[in-house]
Amino acid sequence: MDVRTFQLSDYRPVTQLLETVLSEECYELTMEAFARQLSWDSELVLVASIDGEIVGMIIGTIDNNKGYYYRIAVLPEYQRQGIGKLLIRSLRQRFEQRNVQKIMITADEHNEPILKIYESLGYATTDFFRSFQKLSIIAG
């Protein structure tokens, strides 16, 4: 498995992945934030691939010197194989390289079901950021 920075050639498979995994409402919100983050700092959008097929992705952002995990998605047939955790760890390394003050997890209604994956990696409920509307990639 390979985890790397998003490339323009990944756009179609990533959008198909997001359409598959996310609800329609979540997809619309995510695509807006995804586009903003790509225009600001594409190094914080990572993809996981197996044999050249994109099977997972994560969107992160830095806002007010804090790193935020915004959205993570893994194809259903590849879930529970450690791909999400690898994406989270890889993005964490990017945040640490940028010397962010704190790393937070956006905890909107769409992320609630997967917050346990972050907890399993040592994050506490105090690391969950529930006022996500204030994030620049959401507000614009």
State if pTM tops 0.85: yes
pLDDT at 132 (0 to 100): 57
Alpha-carbon distance of 112 to 119, in angstroms, equals: 12
- Taking every pair of Cα atoms in the chain, the longest distance, rounded to a whole number of angstroms, is 38
Label residue 138 by pLDDT band (50, 70, 90): confident
Label residue 67 by pLDDT band (50, 70, 90): very high
| pLDDT tens digits for range 104-136 | 999 888 888 888 999 999 999 888 887 655 777
| pLDDT tens digits for range 27-58 | 999 999 999 999 999 999 999 999 999 999 99
